[in-house]
Structure 1
Amino acid sequence: MITAQNLTKRFGAHTAVDDVSFTIKPGQVTGFLGPNGAGKSTTMRMIMGLDRPTHGSTTVNGRPFGEHTDPMRQAGALLDAKAAHPGRRAADHLRLLAATNGIARSRVDDVLELTGIASVARRRIGGFSLGMHQRLGIAATMLGDPEVLIFDEPVNGLDPEGVHWVRGFAKARAAEGRTVFISSHLMSEMAQTADHIIVLGKGRVLADAPIAQFLGGAGQERTRVRVSDATVLGSILSADGVSITQTDAESLEIAGLPPAHIARRAALENLDLHELTPLNASLEEAYLALTDDATEYRSDRTAVAA
């Protein structure tokens, strides 16, 4: 488990993390989202004891991470995929980490196989692609078979197969009862991977909720409807605050009315109802709506549209 309590970090006059509190629970994948500059990486560094909080505290498995005598057995963190000497061979890099943390040498072979890089174990790290760097970093996090895993943008540089592998890896580790904390800018990937979402904006927590709850609370309730005569149903349901989009002769997308109300009106008009599907906002839509006022660096949207 990971906890943060009133966590604050200032760099001179700039507040990077501002009174942040949360608990990352075991047995689930928690996604950590936020615009560039929101404070995600700084928060992760403070959890791992690499940055000292200006105020507040963090714990890993009940203690500040720096107080653990067996740190790699408590938590594994991938915060910088290229934090390995380029002239060293992959297996030697892992053996050094194992030796300095009292971990059996045999564990190196295990994690090389686990991450799919056993075939390049004797290659020098400087010749690795970014995706191979990511896999080596993930291998290092697993050396101590820790209860807590922290990944900062772990799918950067990975091809689709690699992204799919990281997703399965994270979910499998959570299913084993571990605490898995992942930051990412890939909304589609987080939607498929995370069970819980924490969103930062300008150093503050904007959301901390199960992903289903987060998506369900974003925007108006929307429903996809297929009915024998969409034009008739659309005219009946038209009212202030109701948005109706007809996609074909039998299909509507309706915002602002509950599905039960739509079904009742269709029945009263003797219309055959073929589909009534509630639609949540996508994670990307919900995230953009939430962080619109918390984005420090933004492009000119009118220029993009043009």
Structure 2
Amino acid sequence: MIVIEQLTKRFGSRTAVDSLTATVQPGRVTGFLGPNGAGKSTTMRMIVGLDRPTSGSVTVGGKRYDKLAAPMHEVGALLDAKAAHPGRSAESHLRSLAATHGIGKQRVDEVIAITGLESVARRKAGKFSLGMGQRLGIAVALLGDPATLILDEPVNGLDPEGVMWVRQLARHYAAEGRTVLLSSHLMSEMAQTADHVLVLGRGRLIADAPIGDLLGANAASVRVRSPRATELAALLAGPQVTTTPGTDGAFEVRGLTAAEIGDRAGAAGISLHELTPVSASLEEAYLALTQHEVEYRMEAAR
């Protein structure tokens, strides 16, 4: 379990993490989301002692990371896929790290196999593609068979098979009762992987909820098709209702339930050919939460 209490980190006048309080529970995959600059990586670095908090605290299994007797057995982390020395082979890198904790060659061979590095185990890390570098970083995280797994953007550079593998790995570790904290900008993948999400915006916690609750709390839409679509859309319009035309003759309505739309259409004698509730996607829910918390914005193309 990771327990974060009033965690704050300032770099000069800039506050990267602002009074963050959250608990990452074992037995589930916790997704860590937020725009660029939201403070996710800084938080992860503070968890493993690479950055010192300005104030507040964070513990793993009830202890600060620097108080753990054998950190690799307690916490496995991937924070930088390029952390390996470019002149060392993957096998040499793993064996060197294993030696610091008395981990034998058998476990090194196991994590090489788990991460699919057998064919490149003796190749220099500096020659690795981004995807292979990610696999090596994950192998390092798994080396001590840790109770807690922290992965920062682990699917960067991976092909679809690799992305699916990371998903299965995270869920397998959580199913074993371990603590899994996973960050990613791929919302579709996070929706299939995470059980619970923490969302940061400008260093502050703006959501801490099961993924189902997060989706349910954000307005879904209803897909409507009618031979009198223009008339029906005008009938449904209101201050809290938006209608968006589709490309196939249907339109989407936000702000009314399917039952309310059906009742209004029936009262006006307008026939319906389709009335389908559409759940909000994780991407839509995320954008709704973070629309005012983005530090770096891009202007629309002209």
Q: Same fold (TM over 0.5)?
A: yes
Q: Match for residue 102 of structure 2?
A: 102
Q: Match for residue 170 of structure 1?
A: 170
Deviation of the 1:247 alpha carbon: 4.0
Structure 2 unaligned blocks of 5 or more? none
- Do 1:46 and 1:53's aligned partners in 2 also have CA atoms closer than 8 Å? yes
Deviation of the 1:269 alpha carbon: 6.7
CA distance in 1, matches of 2:137, 2:230: 56
Match runs of 1:110-125 below 5 Å: 110-125=110-125
CA distance in 1, matches of 2:97, 2:148: 17
Deviation of the 1:73 alpha carbon: 1.2
CA distance in 1, matches of 2:248, 2:287: 32
Letter paired with 1:35: P
Deviation of the 1:83 alpha carbon: 0.6
1:294 alignment partner, SS class:
coil
- For residues 187-222 of structure 1, the C-alpha deviation after alignment (integer angstroms, 9 at most, x for no partner) is 22222222222111111111111222222223x441
Q: Match for residue 184 of structure 2?
A: 184
Comparing 43-52 and 270-279, the one that deviates more: 270-279
Q: Match for residue 138 of structure 1?
A: 138
In the alignment, is residue 41 of structure 1 matched against residue 27 of structure 2? no
2:111 alignment partner, SS class:
helix
2:291 alignment partner, SS class:
helix
- For residues 242-263 of structure 1, the C-alpha deviation after alignment (integer angstroms, 9 at most, x for no partner) is 3334548874422111223234
In the alignment, is residue 195 of structure 1 matched against residue 207 of structure 2? no
Deviation of the 1:108 alpha carbon: 0.8
Residues 249 and 67 of structure 1, relative CA distance in 2, 3 Å threshold = closer
Q: Match for residue 23 of structure 1?
A: 23
In the alignment, is residue 14 of structure 1 matched against residue 38 of structure 2? no
Identity within the alignment, %: 61
Aligned residues, how many? Answer: 302
- For residues 50-93 of structure 1, the C-alpha deviation after alignment (integer angstroms, 9 at most, x for no partner) is 11111110011121122111211111000111111111111121
Letter paired with 1:166: V
Letter paired with 1:288: L
Letter paired with 1:262: I
- For residues 114-156 of structure 1, the C-alpha deviation after alignment (integer angstroms, 9 at most, x for no partner) is 1111111111111111111100110111111111110111111
Residues 248 and 152 of structure 1, relative CA distance in 2, 3 Å threshold = closer
- Do 1:8 and 1:55's aligned partners in 2 also have CA atoms closer than 8 Å? yes
Letter paired with 2:6: N
Q: Match for residue 253 of structure 1?
A: 252
CA distance in 1, matches of 2:247, 2:189: 31
Residues 245 and 10 of structure 1, relative CA distance in 2, 3 Å threshold = closer
Q: Match for residue 85 of structure 1?
A: 85
In the alignment, is residue 282 of structure 1 matched against residue 281 of structure 2? yes
CA distance in 1, matches of 2:167, 2:275: 31
1:35 alignment partner, SS class:
coil
CA distance in 2, matches of 1:249, 1:21: 46
CA distance in 2, matches of 1:17, 1:117: 36
- For residues 91-122 of structure 1, the C-alpha deviation after alignment (integer angstroms, 9 at most, x for no partner) is 12111111211222211111111111111111
1:132 alignment partner, SS class:
helix
In the alignment, is residue 299 of structure 1 matched against residue 298 of structure 2? yes
Match runs of 1:267-278 below 5 Å: 275-278=274-277
Structure 1 unaligned blocks of 5 or more? none
CA distance in 1, matches of 2:247, 2:135: 47
1:293 alignment partner, SS class:
coil
2:58 alignment partner, SS class:
strand
Deviation of the 1:175 alpha carbon: 2.0
Deviation of the 1:281 alpha carbon: 2.9
- Do 1:229 and 1:250's aligned partners in 2 also have CA atoms closer than 8 Å? no
Residues 105 and 292 of structure 1, relative CA distance in 2, 3 Å threshold = same
